Structure 1
Amino acid sequence: MLVIGALSAGASAQEASLSSIEVRSDGLRPGQASSASKSATPIERLPRSVSVVTETEIKARDAQSLMEALAYTPGVYGGGYGSASLSREYPLVRGFLAYQFLDGLKLHDSNRAEEPYGLERVELLRGPASSLYGQGSPGGLINLRSKRPTAETVREIGVRVGSQGLRQGQFDLGGALNADASLQYRMTGMVRKSDGEIDYTEADRRYFAGAMAWKPNAATSLTLMASRQDDPSLTAHQPLPRAGTLEPGVNGRVISRNLFLGEPSRHDSHKESWRVGYEFTHRFNDVWSIEQNAAYKKGDVHVDEVQARGIASGSTRWVRQLFAADYSIVTKQVDTRLVGQIDAAGLKHRVLLGYDFASVPNTQATGTNRASTYLLDLYDPVYGQATPANPITSNRTQQLRQGGFYLQDQVEWGRWSVLAGLRRDRAVLDQKTAVLNPVTGLFSDPPYVLKRDMATTGQLGVAYELGGGWSPYLNYAESFAPVTGSTAAGLPFEPTQGRQVEAGIKWVPAGRALMGSASIYQIKQRNVLGPDLANPGFAAQTGEVRSRGGEIELKAGLAPGLDLTASYAYTDAIVTATTVVNGLDKHPVGIPRQTASAWLSYRVGGVAALQGMTLSAGVHHVGESWGDSLNTFDVPAVTLVDLGLRWNLVNLSPALKGWDTSLVVKNVANRRYVANCDNALNCYYGVGRRVALTASASF
């Protein structure tokens, strides 16, 4: 049966903090979420739309990316770039690109694919959240929670093998270091060797993480965390033309989805990143406490590729270019909160008064060589073309600093729950781009271009418990995000601003393994960039995008051993203001209007030898989306099927106690489909069939 999530012993839902929360992940239905309020709150008490994917679900579906972990969650879509989505993710939530957070702190390195094996849960908060987290997307945010030290012993080692030459070893160790469990640890790691789905590519990864928790008394907790992730061979985007993917090409043939668009001898792209941080809480008395989490992260990306540019007119040959880049980013973050638990006049308040700050220096050096067309036939590729040196010719330096004061109050009064927040943000961006002089061989030294943005954002939501587990809610929330660049007159762009109105209802009946929710919403984002028709080559802020829709989610234990996760989302995003000719009332690309999914698992009983076996099947449907900004063609809908089998082997023999095996097959029918098109020359195949067999031992 499903297991309802629980807080650490002795902590109520109102008392648990973002950094001290210990939510069980051994079931499919979580009891609390922390992303909407920076505190562990029962989901039915939150007047926001929140979904949680537990570690159980991540394992059961053998999720190898964040988008695979969220594949059965409504309102989010991010599989539009095929194999490249395993190394860089573009999650769309309610029609807008969403940002990722790790342990409550924003990841500023372009959503570059955190390893799912290091996570114990994923929370999706839909809608704006700037009043609590600062600049962000109007669609929502995704908060990843790292595996934590635990007083319970965790000892797991495992291996994975599968299609495309997959070979992987992994371990997860943790537990108490002393008798009173005041010292706890966790060590997690994996090493993967695998070919990529695209010819001449690989999907290797190395990931290691460690954490240590010190809890000297009931009032104080300090957790230190560190991780490192290396992706030694990244797969660059592989854009293909509409002709040859969505429809036959000029020769009547279809382009292979394994086609590599680069040169095997000039394929060197990799990423390295490491992160250290801590979470600290201390309770001064029964009313006041302080919480702080901080992190330092450094990431480096190197690219040296032959990349696609477009198709030669009237032919089957692809024009390519040489591209090189070195990208380095450092993120220094700290978030400090004073928390008050105040009971007065029958009202229970949980007040947050906080300030967070981030400094994000980064550099991006690039070089592009178009001296030759480097033609490649899309149907009969011949590799081995000579590629000359490609020096760096542009070097952009940025220094981003952002900080914000925020105030939030969670109020409970009988059956009523209110969530109100207000925040004042300041974002500073200093930027300059040095350009190589080909005559002197020296880079220019331009002055920094300074940009300052300030914004005040808020949210207000209310929920009411009707009884029987039903809780309707309403909310209003705002977002903002700075926009780099300037107008033709040299004036800096204003930040984009988003506003959401949402209504929904949640159903969490007591004593039953069931959780359901439904919501409808409208989001408007203003100050969207578009071309400046009066000044060709420049941009103007006259755009607006409106997204309306609804979502339904259900997690239920239908019968002993039979569990269901199901979802449906309808997203109607449309351009309501733009300078693009004929662009008004058009739908943005890559946003399917409808998505639906269902995951059913059954734990076999009755037959003694089969006890401990769980069979599962999943189906997810992605509806049609538009393939270009003027909506001249669409990307067809697709329905994919996944299958899984998990077997605890102890019933076969007591000697096999602690041994688990699982077999997961994704895209069982090996459907060839196009996942997304940005335009007629940039379409991307979805991922084909993948098979993985995992064997693990817990001891």
Structure 2
Amino acid sequence: MIPASSGAGGAQTRDGIDGYVAQATSAGTKVGTPLLQLPRSVSTVTRQDMTDRDAQSVREALQYTAGVGTYFREGQFTRDYAYVRGFQGLQFLDGLRLNVNNYGLEPYGLERIDVLKGPAGTLYGQGSPGGLWDLTSKRPTDQAFGEALIRFGSYGALQGAFDVGGPVTEDHSLLYRVVGLGRIGDGQIDFSKNERAYIAPSFTWRIDEDTSLTILAAYQNDPKVTVLQPLPYAGTVVPGPTGQFVSRNLFLGEPGYHDTTVQQARIGYEFKHRFNDVFAFQQNFYYQNIQINLNEVQSNATPTTTTTTRTAANQFFAIDMYQIDNRLTADFDMGPLRHHVLFGTDYSAIPNVQGSGSGSASPLNLYNPVYGLAFTNPVPITTFRYQDQRQAGAYVQDRVEFGRLNVLLGARYDRLEQDQQTRTYNVATGAVTNPAWTKQPDQAPTYNAGVIYNFANGVAPYASYSQIFTPVFGTDFFGRSFIPITGDQKEVGVKYMPPGYNILLSAAVFDITQYNVQTADLLHRGYAVQTSSVESQGGEIELKTTHLYGFNVSAAYTYLDAKVIATNTAGGLGKHPVGIPMNAASLWTTYRFAEGGLRGLTLGGGVRYVGDQAVDSLNTLPLPSFTLYDLTARYELGEASVAWTNWDVALNVKNLLDTRYVGACDDALNCYYGPGRNITGTLRARW
């Protein structure tokens, strides 16, 4: 955990947990680094920020963050899709990558979220040119504490949660923490549920004053998941053939064949040992298992005038993830230079299997749905895809202090192996094919460099350069293996943290280019070529304050000019990628009354603006801008009666005006409604 810091007036805050301003981060360096000594753009969503906004997903937690787009494929309760600077970002947990598709984790189990903007290949290996977000799990503390809450909400939602922990032994050598949550309720979509069970125990053993071991475990069960509900552009963004809009509540499946579950379990540890005043070692490890079972009738997104065709699907996924990261740090002086050197190696393995089968299903009228029509049931699983991905990397980084100047240099080398086999089952004969495994190795070096200077008044200008690579599995028409997607970023920015105040103002301009992107092979149907490149240029500005004259503020603006700079698609050159708005802005603020008859009352709200987007690759259809409003109110009941000391009650309203909007489209046949108004009331006790 980042150490505590002292804000204006001498109040102690836990960095990244209390207030909205984080003083330091480990994202971008893998060791705790003051923000004014890091030549990279990093945004932090603190625990208090998540609580004030009643964030029910990581996606919701990131909604007020500069450079982050969270409206891609809304309505997917178990995925945390988000775009960072125009590219789909990757999700990490406690510094280790969650390698498969950003499956949604319960935000109540998190202390903070750090968003690192731009490529981060030098430390983290393969990834996204846009960046990543690193989730920090709640972990044991020296101070005994407890929290319990009950929450009521729209669509019959009922949720209970608790968070307790503290020392087990008098000498504080053994600490514990247990976080738990249970939720039941309906979803906005007809026949859908919003249910979850979550438990996360953790323990810290301080073996001696230089050595500690923290065990982190979690189990999450989402028993009634609703898969994506894609709808056509005509009927959602503009009126459909009947002159009407498709209902936001429309369910595209079959109520009698609607059973999808996601279970996640993980366990890991964080081991730390300091050898002396110079050298220290840290090892992080986790194992995660994801089990998904899907039985759904799904839309094929090929509607006629008023109906969509459908397919009955039966799928299962069994995914194992192993990851370990070893880091040796050395902090020492060499003349006038102070070095912070990091040597590291990491390894990950992801064996997994996916089974799938499909059958026929009757079409569904989008404006007058009739359920219970014929569909294949049961659906046999006829395809089994086995994958095994293994990656090993070695990296080195040095942050050099020379007075107020900090220089960051890093390099990394990765080797990745991907093996895949697809077996098919013949229902009629019972025969199963056993083809040879397809094997593909990839390797790549990546580099980064940056410089930042701290002026005495808290102004810190910086510049940086960073690289990334992403392996691509498969071959082209001629049998040649695809080469990795590569990308780099050039960034210039400034941070401002005035001494004595909990204020962070940051601004940056950037230029990111992604190369070797796949597009369809126009000469050989069913194959792909790597002829596309995308450039994302833009700027961001973000303001955060903590208890500034009673106000906590999180404000952001993003300008993003993303465009295709190479493609084999006729007319596609210079077009904007689908689903990337050029402008986005947000403002969230709360104010706590400290005196008078309103003492103990906190009022707040926010506004989120998302600009126009492209719906198709040739930019012929526009997705119009939308603006959403949120509100919050919280009252500390102890101000009314000492019998209720440490109790509070809160009200949150998201999408206050119940605005009907489409957050993003994949194309003209796959658009996704955003959620309507959602009201929650929370009663919380702390001790």
Instruction: Place the TM-score, normalised by the shorter chain, in its bin.
Output: over 0.9
Residue of 346, 365, 369 corresponding to 2:359? 369
Alignment pair present for 1:659 and 2:647: yes
Residue of 406, 419, 424 corresponding to 1:430? 419
Q: Which amino acid aligns with 1:325?
A: Q
Residue of 109, 121, 144 corresponding to 2:112? 121
- After TM superposition, give the deviation of residue 141 of structure 1 in Å: 0.6
The 5 A counterparts of 1:295-694 are: 295-313=286-304, 315-370=305-360, 372=361, 374-388=362-376, 389-557=378-546, 559-608=548-597, 610-694=598-682
- After TM superposition, give the deviation of residue 532 of structure 1 in Å: 1.3
- After TM superposition, give the deviation of residue 585 of structure 1 in Å: 1.2
In the TM superposition, what whole-angstrom CA distance separates every residue of 1:508-536 from its partner, at most 9, and x where no partner exists? 11101211000000001101001112222
Alignment correspondent of 2:30: 38
2 CA distance for matches of 1:312 and 1:25?
48
- After TM superposition, give the deviation of residue 394 of structure 1 in Å: 0.8
The 5 A counterparts of 1:46-195 are: 46-84=38-76, 86-195=77-186
Residue of 222, 233, 238 corresponding to 1:231? 222
Q: Is the 8 A contact 1:358 1:403 kept in 2?
A: yes
Q: Is the 8 A contact 2:16 2:47 kept in 1?
A: no
SS in structure 1 at match of 2:183: strand
Q: Is the 8 A contact 1:336 1:356 kept in 2?
A: yes
Q: Which amino acid aligns with 1:309?
A: N
- After TM superposition, give the deviation of residue 24 of structure 1 in Å: 5.3
- After TM superposition, give the deviation of residue 22 of structure 1 in Å: 7.5
1 CA distance for matches of 2:5 and 2:229?
50
Residue of 22, 26, 33 corresponding to 2:18? 26
- After TM superposition, give the deviation of residue 160 of structure 1 in Å: 0.5
2 CA distance for matches of 1:300 and 1:603?
44
1 CA distance for matches of 2:546 and 2:302?
52
- After TM superposition, give the deviation of residue 323 of structure 1 in Å: 1.3
- After TM superposition, give the deviation of residue 455 of structure 1 in Å: 0.2
1 CA distance for matches of 2:303 and 2:652?
41
2 CA distance for matches of 1:156 and 1:140?
34
Q: Which amino acid aligns with 1:509?
A: P
- After TM superposition, give the deviation of residue 180 of structure 1 in Å: 1.7
1 CA distance for matches of 2:2 and 2:663?
38
- After TM superposition, give the deviation of residue 691 of structure 1 in Å: 0.5
- After TM superposition, give the deviation of residue 109 of structure 1 in Å: 2.3
Q: What TM-score results when the alignment is normalised by the length of structure 2?
A: 0.97
Q: How many percent of aligned residue pairs carry the same amino acid? A: 45
In the TM superposition, what whole-angstrom CA distance separates every residue of 1:480-508 from its partner, at most 9, and x where no partner exists? 01001110011110000001000000001
Q: Which amino acid aligns with 2:33?
A: T
SS in structure 2 at match of 1:26: coil
Q: Is the 8 A contact 1:120 1:147 kept in 2?
A: yes
Are the structure 2 counterparts of residues 24 and 71 from structure 1 closer, same or farther at C-alpha, using a change threshold of 3 Å? closer
2 CA distance for matches of 1:572 and 1:392?
44
Q: Is the 8 A contact 2:16 2:45 kept in 1?
A: no
Alignment correspondent of 1:272: 263
Alignment correspondent of 2:278: 287
Q: Is the 8 A contact 2:75 2:672 kept in 1?
A: no
1 CA distance for matches of 2:267 and 2:547?
42
Q: Which amino acid aligns with 1:636?
A: P
Q: Is the 8 A contact 1:295 1:332 kept in 2?
A: yes
1 CA distance for matches of 2:509 and 2:628?
26
- After TM superposition, give the deviation of residue 8 of structure 1 in Å: 5.6
2 CA distance for matches of 1:478 and 1:526?
11
SS in structure 1 at match of 2:552: strand
Aligned length in residues: 680
Deviates more, 1:431-440 or 1:225-234: 431-440
Alignment correspondent of 1:18: none
2 CA distance for matches of 1:573 and 1:558?
36
Alignment correspondent of 1:218: 209
Q: Is the 8 A contact 1:67 1:77 kept in 2?
A: no
- After TM superposition, give the deviation of residue 605 of structure 1 in Å: 3.3
1 CA distance for matches of 2:299 and 2:247?
16
In the TM superposition, what whole-angstrom CA distance separates every residue of 1:99-155 from its partner, at most 9, and x where no partner exists? 100000000121010100000000000000010000000000110000010001120
Are the structure 2 counterparts of residues 121 and 24 from structure 1 closer, same or farther at C-alpha, using a change threshold of 3 Å? closer
Q: Is the 8 A contact 2:400 2:407 kept in 1?
A: yes
SS in structure 1 at match of 2:543: strand
2 CA distance for matches of 1:302 and 1:218?
46
Q: Which amino acid aligns with 2:450?
A: G
Q: Is the 8 A contact 2:457 2:499 kept in 1?
A: yes
In the TM superposition, what whole-angstrom CA distance separates every residue of 1:248-295 from its partner, at most 9, and x where no partner exists? 111111110000000000101110010000000101111111110000
Q: Is the 8 A contact 1:81 1:676 kept in 2?
A: yes
In the TM superposition, what whole-angstrom CA distance separates every residue of 1:337-358 from its partner, at most 9, and x where no partner exists? 1111111111111111110000
1 CA distance for matches of 2:128 and 2:2?
30
Q: Which amino acid aligns with 2:621?
A: F
SS in structure 2 at match of 1:261: coil
Residue of 235, 252, 260 corresponding to 1:244? 235
Q: Which amino acid aligns with 1:505?
A: V
Q: Is the 8 A contact 2:164 2:179 kept in 1?
A: yes
Are the structure 2 counterparts of residues 676 and 195 from structure 1 closer, same or farther at C-alpha, using a change threshold of 3 Å? same
Q: What TM-score results when the alignment is normalised by the length of structure 1?
A: 0.96
SS in structure 2 at match of 1:310: coil
Q: Which amino acid aligns with 2:324?
A: V
In the TM superposition, what whole-angstrom CA distance separates every residue of 1:644-668 from its partner, at most 9, and x where no partner exists? 0111111101110110111100000
SS in structure 1 at match of 2:352: strand
Structure 1 gaps of 5+ residues are: 11-20
In the TM superposition, what whole-angstrom CA distance separates every residue of 1:187-215 from its partner, at most 9, and x where no partner exists? 00000001011000001001100000011
Deviates more, 1:47-56 or 1:345-354: 345-354
The 5 A counterparts of 1:246-261 are: 246-261=237-252
Q: Which amino acid aligns with 1:635?
A: L
2 CA distance for matches of 1:595 and 1:79?
11
1 CA distance for matches of 2:478 and 2:548?
66
Deviates more, 1:167-176 or 1:380-389: 380-389
Q: Is the 8 A contact 1:109 1:299 kept in 2?
A: no
- After TM superposition, give the deviation of residue 228 of structure 1 in Å: 0.2
- After TM superposition, give the deviation of residue 559 of structure 1 in Å: 4.5
Q: Which amino acid aligns with 2:252?
A: L
Q: Which amino acid aligns with 2:594?
A: G
Q: Is the 8 A contact 1:589 1:677 kept in 2?
A: yes
Q: Is the 8 A contact 1:83 1:196 kept in 2?
A: no
Q: Is the 8 A contact 2:106 2:198 kept in 1?
A: yes
1 CA distance for matches of 2:633 and 2:129?
38
Are the structure 2 counterparts of residues 24 and 308 from structure 1 closer, same or farther at C-alpha, using a change threshold of 3 Å? closer
SS in structure 2 at match of 1:615: strand
2 CA distance for matches of 1:418 and 1:42?
13
- After TM superposition, give the deviation of residue 386 of structure 1 in Å: 2.6
Q: Is the 8 A contact 2:359 2:375 kept in 1?
A: no
